[in-house]
Structure 1
Amino acid sequence: MAGLVLGFTFGFSSPAIPDLEDRLGPEETSWFGSVVTLGAVMGAPLGAVVIEKLGRKGTLIAVNVPYGLGWLCIIVAELLPDKGLLPMLLVGRILCGLAVGVTAGAQPIYVAEVATKQLRGLLGTSLQLTINIGILIMFALGLTLYYRFLAIIPCCVSVLMVLAMAFMPETPRHLVNKGRDDDALKALRWLRGPDFDCRGELIEIQQNLATQPKQSLHISEFTRREVLRPLIIAVGLMVFQDASGINAVLFYADGIMEQAGFEGKGGLASVVIAIILVVMVFPASALTDRAGRKTLLIISQVFIVISLVTFGLYFYLSSEHEMTGLSALSMTSLIVYISAFCLGMGPIAYVVVGEIFPMRVRGVATSITVCLHWIVAFIITKTFSIMLTSLQPYGTFWFYAGTGLVGLIFTVIIVPETKGKSLEEIEASFSRKTSDKKRPLAERGEEDVDDRTSLHQEQAV
């Protein structure tokens, strides 16, 4: 349900903007579409604190307060005079964005920490699936519902999310980290069932946390190899996800399809896009733990670059050479683009972010990643309409293709494969030296513990 509410927030502006154009100008509607990402930028660092203080479960419950208030502001904004309409709408969008920033950090961590290593990829892609379902619901109902009534749906789902999360357990790793080992064992039994070796998994979690420094988290820890490298990988994936232009395409889907030759049918074409968003996540879910994260990311980015080039080519031929009858090229390019994004960069980037950080810094590091992610998303979304004017549509999509190519190179060179590994094994792979990689894991783990113990003793002296 967390993903559903995110999807509602992302998909709302596209059907809402046509309803608001009679009372708001182009610049004002641009702010309405993009300011949600600015709210997410503010929500991400807040999430770093809340995730550790309230826990993963508590955060996913508490986040529905700003969600609900934000949607209520949007619902009542219509009752205000013209001078009060835009400020109230922006307050509502910022509050929703604030909740998005917190949720985007908490949900991947929750899933990664409760899932087994065999199912973590499958369950991790559920965030993108539910986001896409939320977008589809907004696009489809937006064809007939006025934006005020459309905003009622997310309000109701937020209430349902609170009720659903109340019955879910806290993550075992967070409970062990807080010294609540008995509660962690109960959570594992709830999650795994009576036939699973829950005590063995609990011992593995305890042993991993025993190697973590006991003093308060310090900024200098982010310069350590086992933290810095995962941070670079996570931030890189999320930044290149944004730089492909996906948020701009979704926020302004109706207008893009109108320009792409579907006059008067932009809303319907956008629903088709949203259906593809949902359908194409299923292959990603099925293949994440089989083909691997890195393989799907590379395939995804290759086709993202190709489709952005051909989409730009459509706009170039139709505007500069006044060629007609190219609607099939534009729609095919957009379908391939959306399908490729959903196969890899969309769902798998969140999977990697949720599983790649050490337990000690997971909440803070994920929030840093999400914060930078939304800063780039805000810049991309806010500058999209400006780029369409200054670079023309074809130049804009070719620019996104160029950044996508850089992202592809980044994935090939920097991003590791994490399929089939427990969170503890992933953490260990970043903390050991390259020359150590071929040595037995148990032997390396013992030396890692000894090294940390010696370091703590030296610090005490």
Structure 2
Amino acid sequence: MFNTGVYRQIYVTVVATLSIFISGMWLGWPSSVVEKFVKHETDFNATMDELSWIVSTMDLGNVISPLIAGNLMDMFGRKPSTAMLGPLFMITWALTLWVPTAWALYLARAMAGMGKGMSYTVVPVYLGEIASPAIRGALGSVFCFQLHFGFLVEAIVGPLVSYRTLNTMSAVVPVLFFAAVVWLPESPYYLLKRERRPEAAVCLQWFRGGGDVDHELDLMSENVRQEMENRATFRELFSSPKDMRALAIVVVACATQRAGGISCIMAYSALILPDNAPLLNKHQSVMLFAIMLVVVNSVAVVLVDRVGRKPLLFISEVGMGVVTLMFALFFYFCQTDGGGWFGWLPYLCHLSFACLFAAGVGFVPVVYLGEMFPVNIRSHCSAIASITLAFCSFVTNKIFLFVSNHYGFYVMFLLFTVVNFSGAFYTYMYAIETKGKTFQEIQEQLQDIVSPRREKSEHDDI
């Protein structure tokens, strides 16, 4: 049985990641409301051009927020920065209900993107700092489970209710999130960073369920002391081979996650899937896609602290590369002979992609993000990772229709294939395993990797 501390860590994880659940709802919202706009079932009418901007502005908001969030979490703390997301998301849903204009939805989606970017920046750091090493990977996996579950809720509920009812139901979640998150404790790492050891001891004891935490607190204090000897600037980050190695691992994983096809497959499933569905229609396939994201991610939560981060990430990237290659072959042959004889293939690929994405690349970058960086630069690295995710998502979403209309879907899926196999190669060659290791052990492992190269370089210079 789990002790009290584990249950408390699980509770904090569920509450904090409700911000990710809300972000997932906003990701799933277009798939439910675009058809309502086309059928004039909304509070106002929107042109197709306005709809395209309503969908894409979320990524624009996502790009600009991580650096702001990084400064906020260092200035005010991890918990207060997480709590700020509650009012922000309340405003986004209020705009959909009370200001029925396209510009209001542009603003709402941009603010939702800001909230998503801030969530991706703050929450992984918060969870990584409060979690015990034995369950840190599992708790980090809940992050992506909530994102997929939020998408699933909108995909299932959206077609069954009116536009206004959907927005009203969605607006309740940030209220509940804010009411719960304000009572959470602060991260002990942040309190030690601010030289508030007595408060850090109280918080750590709460997270561990009581008992003696002096030894763990001493280790944290020593880790913070060593890390804070260097100024927390981007210059120090980019001048440290150890931290640059960790940053490269996370950035490549994040780029593969968003540029490997998931953003476009989620946004354009209705266009990608052919009309001659073998068993399910397009809407049912999208719902099944969302369900598999949740189910497989739930299984991966159990496996990540047993199998490890690197194997799951590598297998996921290779599998996604195979699936996107099959997609590309299907669309290529569709241009030559119609492809009707294997119209079932894209539906199989669609479902397989969801499973493979959720099994590794969908959540491992977030787990790495909370594990691999010293506390004095963690917020900067988290911001860079969030910008990478947003930028890759925005670029692929914006070019997808243009490239597909002018050259064919197969060209985009070949691009996704290259991205996925390249990510798999990098993971195999350079990623590290962090399963069950403390922050100090991870830092020592990274230092051991880069030290031989530095010594060799210095020897060559002589």
Q: TM-score, normalised by structure 1?
A: 0.89
Instruction: Name the % identity.
Output: 25
Q: What are the residue-to-residue correspondences of 1:135-150 with 2, within 5 Å?
A: 135-150=151-166
Offset at 1:38?
0.7
Moved more, 253-262 or 304-313: 253-262
Q: 1:70 to 1:262 in 2, by over 3 A?
A: farther
Number of the residue aligned with 1:7: 24
Number of the residue aligned with 1:42: 64
Number of the residue aligned with 1:210: 225
Offset at 1:206?
0.5
Number of the residue aligned with 2:369: 353
User: What is the one-letter code of the residue matched to 2:93?
Assistant: W
Matches of 1:315 and 1:389, distance apart in 2: 12
- Give the SS at the match of 1:142: helix
Q: Is the 8 A contact 1:256 1:266 kept in 2?
A: no
Matches of 2:88 and 2:80, distance apart in 1: 14
Matches of 2:216 and 2:275, distance apart in 1: 55
Q: 1:178 to 1:188 in 2, by over 3 A?
A: same
Matches of 1:399 and 1:215, distance apart in 2: 40
2:337 counterpart of 1:321: yes
Matches of 2:246 and 2:276, distance apart in 1: 40
Matches of 1:264 and 1:434, distance apart in 2: 51
Offset at 1:263?
11
2:79 counterpart of 1:57: yes
- Give the SS at the match of 2:307: coil
CA deviations over 1:10-57 (Å, ceiling 9, x no partner): 111111111223533433322222210110111111111111122111
Offset at 1:364?
1.5
User: What is the one-letter code of the residue matched to 1:211?
Assistant: Q
Q: Is the 8 A contact 1:258 1:265 kept in 2?
A: no
User: What is the one-letter code of the residue matched to 2:138?
Assistant: L
Matches of 1:359 and 1:260, distance apart in 2: 53
Q: 1:198 aligns with which of 188, 195, 213?
A: 213
Offset at 1:259?
5.2
CA deviations over 1:275-301 (Å, ceiling 9, x no partner): 111111022111111111000111101
Matches of 2:276 and 2:178, distance apart in 1: 41
Moved more, 388-397 or 97-106: 388-397
Q: Is the 8 A contact 2:309 2:434 kept in 1?
A: yes
Q: What are the residue-to-residue correspondences of 1:34-113 with 2, within 5 Å?
A: 34-78=56-100, 85-113=101-129
Q: 1:435 to 1:374 in 2, by over 3 A?
A: closer
Matches of 2:350 and 2:365, distance apart in 1: 21
User: What is the one-letter code of the residue matched to 2:388?
Assistant: L
2:35 counterpart of 1:18: yes
Q: 1:286 to 1:345 in 2, by over 3 A?
A: same
- Give the SS at the match of 1:360: coil
Q: What are the residue-to-residue correspondences of 1:25-424 with 2, within 5 Å?
A: 25-78=47-100, 85-195=101-211, 197-214=212-229, 216-222=231-237, 223-257=239-273, 261=277, 265-424=281-440
Matches of 2:192 and 2:88, distance apart in 1: 29
**Contiguous gaps of at least 5 residues in structure 2:** 1-17, 454-462
User: What is the one-letter code of the residue matched to 1:268?
Assistant: Q
**Contiguous gaps of at least 5 residues in structure 1:** 79-84, 438-461
Q: TM-score, normalised by structure 2?
A: 0.88
Matches of 1:176 and 1:259, distance apart in 2: 58
Offset at 1:433?
5.7
Number of the residue aligned with 1:454: none
Number of the residue aligned with 2:3: none
Cα root mean square deviation, aligned? 2.0
Offset at 1:403?
1.3
